[in-house]
Amino acid sequence: LSNMGNTCYLNASLQMLYTLKGFIPAIDGKGGGELVKSVVSTAQRVLDISKKPGLLNARPVKLAMDKISDKFRGFQQRDAHEFRGDLIDNIHEELVEGQKKLNADDMKSPTENERDETDQGVPELPIDEYFRCDIEVCLKCNTCGYTRYDIKKECETSLLIP
């Protein structure tokens, strides 16, 4: 992917996604919007470059992200980790909305096993499979001995571990 002027953060984020075996086919055709379609089409162009060498850029992905948020507009240097997090969240949002629309069009609701409590009846999506994990949190009072456990669903590509 060629640099369009300080877009290393964008290229690095996309290249990370493209190395995840099965991720692009998993989001393709799931009812996503402009961002999902641009990520998939750019990935397909990257894979086809071995047949026709040359430079290509991720302008469609940049334009789609710029429509969603002004956070990364322009061509200033940006943080790849922050962009990747927003990219993953926005892909997920598009897939959730797409699945809701598909469910409404099909006039069916997901079965109990397909429901994901965080997305109100939308079946588990590729972002859940590739990026979300459950983290068990334990809070214990050393004075009275009270202990509370909670499971939190996290969507991070890096976690701070003390």
Give the pLDDT confidence score for residue 112 in this predicted structure: 47
Helix (H) or strand (E) holding 139: strand 132-140
d(CA 19, CA 6): 22
- Out of 70-74, 102-106, 146-150, give the one with best mean pLDDT: 146-150
What are phi and psi for residue 136, nearest 5 degrees?
Answer: -85, 125
**85 to 100, 101, 130, 131, 154: CA distances (angstroms):** 23, 24, 13, 10, 12
- Asked which of 61-65, 92-96, 105-109 is least confident by mean pLDDT, the reply is 105-109
Instruction: State pTM to two decimals.
Output: 0.71
Write out the H or E segment, with its range, that includes residue 137: strand 132-140
End-to-end CA distance of the chain: 36
The pLDDT tens digits of the residues spanning 106-147 come to 655 555 444 444 445 556 788 888 887 778 888 899 999 899
Rounded Cα gap, residues 14 and 39, in angstroms: 8
Cβ contact 149:138 at 8 Å: yes
- The whole-chain average pLDDT of the chain stands at 79
Q: List residues bridging with 88 in a β-sheet.
A: none
User: Under the phi-then-psi rule, with left for phi > 0, alpha for psi from -120 to 50, and beta for the rest, what region is 100?
Assistant: alpha
| Per-residue pLDDT at 53 exceeds 70 | no
Quote the pLDDT of residue 156: 64
Average the pLDDT over each of 31-35, 46-50, 143-147 and give the range with the smallest value: 46-50
